[in-house]
Amino acid sequence: MRLLDTHTGQFVEKDPSPVQVWREKVKYAILSHTWDADGEQTHKELMKIQKRYVGECLFPVAIGPDGLVPALSAIWQDPNLSPKIRDACRVAREDGYQYLWIDSCCIDKTSSSELSEAINSMFAWYKWATICYAYLADVPPLSHEDKDQSSLKDEDKDSLENKDDDLQVQVGRSAAFRLSRWFKRGWTLQELLAPEILIFLSKDWKPLGSKKELSGHVNAITKISVDALSNQRLLSKFSVAQRLSWASNRRTTRVEDRAYSLLGIFNINMPTLYGEGKRAFQRLQEEILRRIPDQSIFAFCDSRYFPSRRSPHVILVDNLDPGLKFWYQDESKGYNKRISCYYSSSSSMLSTSPDNFLRAHRIPLAQLIYHYPDLPPLDYSFTPYGILTHIPLIPLSVFQSDIPIEYEGENSEWYLAVLGCELVDHPGRLLARACRLIPSTSGTNILSRGRKSYVVKREKISIFSDSKSDFKKVHISGDNTDIFFALSASVLVQTSPLARVFPVYLSQDDQDHEIFDEDITRRPHKTINLMLKKNGTPGPCSSGSPNGDKPTTTLSLRWPDRDNPNTHWLTISRPAWQGAGDVRDTITIEYRHILEDDGNSLSIIAHASGMLGGYPTDSADITWKDEMPWETRYLDSQKMVILENGKGGRVKVDLSLEYLAINNYLIDAHTTWFNKRPCLEPEDGNTTALVPPLDSEDYAPGPSEDPGSRRALEDGSVAPQGGAKRSRASGRLRGGLIAYRR
């Protein structure tokens, strides 16, 4: 292991294993940090600086805590030395550590063998370190009045248990601490878990507190168990799914590092092959299957189809009546649902990303609580057909539900694969996921995972400020996601005679299929471009007839400029009424986008305002939020605003936002105008109101319309104010009605 001498600034080789540390009394500190956007000083670059100071300090001339140590070298004043290396060594030196390890400069990354060895050893190196400094470059220092109490006392260096509670509260409430980039990077996960003592440092290299002291706050940020953070439980006591859930939503520069950064967490060694892409995570899962008998690795949900907060992805089955009927339970009450099981294009029983385990922190380590008599010991064999194993399968068709279950293909192909794991909030129930068994005459029965969707019917109410509520019955499609059942012990006993246990091959066939599909949604945004959509095609949009039957509504989009680089402007315009001349109804939607977390999360705020009939309207703000992986389904994409001018003019604007590609979204707007219309007086005084058909797309009821006035319209009588159709008549304005000459 190559270490930096914190006095001379030179590299030294040491064996960091606990035996050698005990024999040679070698104590070293280790740094955990996020790399700067402009890069870090490399091993090769630091070597060039070190050569200028070789031989400067050949003999120990200073007295340190453990005896004589080399005097400080002039290298620390070298202007070419990285400030991060200089400050990290200073902090370690002041705390009494002669040696420090920093990944950016202590690994020669030009050597693939050295890099692979370091990656496979890194968890152990952090675990064996006496202390780990977690440098949070984006967390500002504490306020002046708290700086004194934040410094560590010498007698607390080992235990780190006597910090002031006020400091912990201050750090925990710090938004900068909670949102620090350090908590979102892939490599920092093992750097958080491995060391027994970890000290968080602020931007100015001042202590914020220890991992143990701040474990509650870190748990809230990372969802990692306090027992794991405080090293009270071995990582092997946590399920595979739990450990993978800790890595969800963490990012690495190289896609392979999402797998390589987890090797130590599972105590696995495997070769690193940069260039293999997502295949690295599949290899990691295969190694986990070989070494850890834990089926929670199959309890993942494709992150692109995560159920929303409204829709669960676990169906509880506690009891069955004699007809094997169960009653559907979930958090959404009062909705009529239909479950549809359908083929998944991503059919592999292995996950393509740690992100798919986002919700798996609810799955603890557990043994199979119901033993099938024909089930052999858990074992996996890797074959060209897939992974050969034995899993209990219950035909899904034997279940009857109080809501319909529909199948794509033959229902005889659908099974519940019973897994040896449970949910922490539903103990005693085994998880079972819906799978499709594809039989083969050659005996290679391929088991692939399926998905389900909900169809929900409910009443939707649209309320306008001064009119009656508009009630609409709508169909809302629910989330598409992997489907799980939680089966109680009694249900397992009832279905045991129907369960089948025979060799199956777990599908692995979609790795190539998803490599492009998923990667393209997992790249951070650099900027945001909004494009106007019409009939599914980006480009300029307008509505209205060119023959003069009705005013033409036009949409125009203005892109960001130098003064407003994050703002787009959408203008919706039309003549205020037929023949209105320069008087126009205009709605302006100002879209302002905010990118956070290095482009991994996005907010778009739309500010709507306008002019109706020459009078300004009120304004309204709406917000969309999106985060990686980018998918339109994550957005509440359809939003509505209603603007009024206080003079009877009103417009409803339906806005939509749709993910198109990295850095690009489509926007669309549809308007319904509720203006009070002027009346045109014909030259001969013969006036009759022109009334549109009630199903006319340009008709919008006024605030005073009631069923009686609607019948009057159907009879051809005078239209109510605000509900008339525009005509091609000519004349003068009168009385708020539109008339024309017969």
625 belongs to a structural domain: yes
172 belongs to a structural domain: yes
DSSP per position, 465-519: TTS--EEEEEEEEEEEEE-EEEE-HHHHHHHGGG-B--EEEE--TTHHHHHHHHH
Does the bond joining 377 to the residue before it have cis omega, within 30 degrees of 0? no
Query: What is the pLDDT, as a whole number, of residue 43?
Result: 96
334 and 474 inside one domain: yes
Sign of CA dihedral 610, 614, 616, 620: negative
Q: How many domains are contained in the chain?
A: 4
Query: What is the pLDDT, as a whole number, of residue 154?
Result: 46
58 and 205 inside one domain: yes
d(CA 428, CA 533): 51
Domain boundary among 616, 639, 673: 673
223 and 300 inside one domain: no
Domain boundary among 519, 545, 577: 519
Query: What is the pLDDT, as a whole number, of residue 375?
Result: 75
The pLDDT tens digits of the residues spanning 619-661 come to 999 988 887 767 654 455 678 889 988 888 888 998 988 888 8
What is the extent of the structural domain holding 666? Answer: 529-673
300 belongs to a structural domain: yes
Query: What is the pLDDT, as a whole number, of residue 699?
Result: 35
Helix H or strand E segment including 148: helix 144-150
Residues 6 or more apart in contact with residue 575 via CB below 8 angstroms: 551, 552, 581, 583, 584, 585
Residues 6 or more apart in contact with residue 85 via CB below 8 angstroms: 4, 41, 46, 102, 105
684 and 669 inside one domain: no
| % of the chain residues with pLDDT over 70 | 64
Other C-beta atoms closer than 10 Å to the C-beta of 129 total 27
543 belongs to a structural domain: yes
732 and 623 inside one domain: no
641 and 692 inside one domain: no
Sign of CA dihedral 170, 175, 178, 181: negative
Q: What's the half-sphere exposure (Cβ side, CA atoms, 13 Å) at 565?
A: 4
433 and 537 inside one domain: no
List C-alpha distances in Å: 389 to 377, 379, 429. 10, 6, 22
Query: What is the pLDDT, as a whole number, of residue 61?
Result: 52
Domain boundary among 673, 698, 713: 673
Which residues, given as ranges, of the chain have pLDDT below 70? 19-24, 56-71, 143-173, 302-313, 319-347, 367-371, 373, 400-412, 439-443, 451-481, 509-522, 534-551, 577-581, 629, 631-637, 675-742
Query: What is the pLDDT, as a whole number, of residue 448?
Result: 83
Question: Are the C-beta atoms of 675 and 649 separated by less than 8 Å?
Answer: yes
257 belongs to a structural domain: no
Other C-beta atoms closer than 10 Å to the C-beta of 62 total 12
Query: What is the pLDDT, as a whole number, of residue 407?
Result: 58
435 belongs to a structural domain: yes
252 belongs to a structural domain: no
402 belongs to a structural domain: yes
Q: Quick one: tokens of 715? A: 């009879």
Query: What is the pLDDT, as a whole number, of residue 533?
Result: 76
Query: What is the pLDDT, as a whole number, of residue 303?
Result: 61
668 and 718 inside one domain: no
d(CA 430, CA 433): 10
97 and 212 inside one domain: yes
499 and 543 inside one domain: no
Residues 6 or more apart in contact with residue 685 via CB below 8 angstroms: none
- Measure CA of the first residue to CA of the last residue in the chain; give whole Å: 98
d(CA 268, CA 283): 11
592 and 647 inside one domain: yes
Query: What is the pLDDT, as a whole number, of residue 261?
Result: 97
For the whole model, what pTM was predicted?
0.64
361 and 468 inside one domain: yes
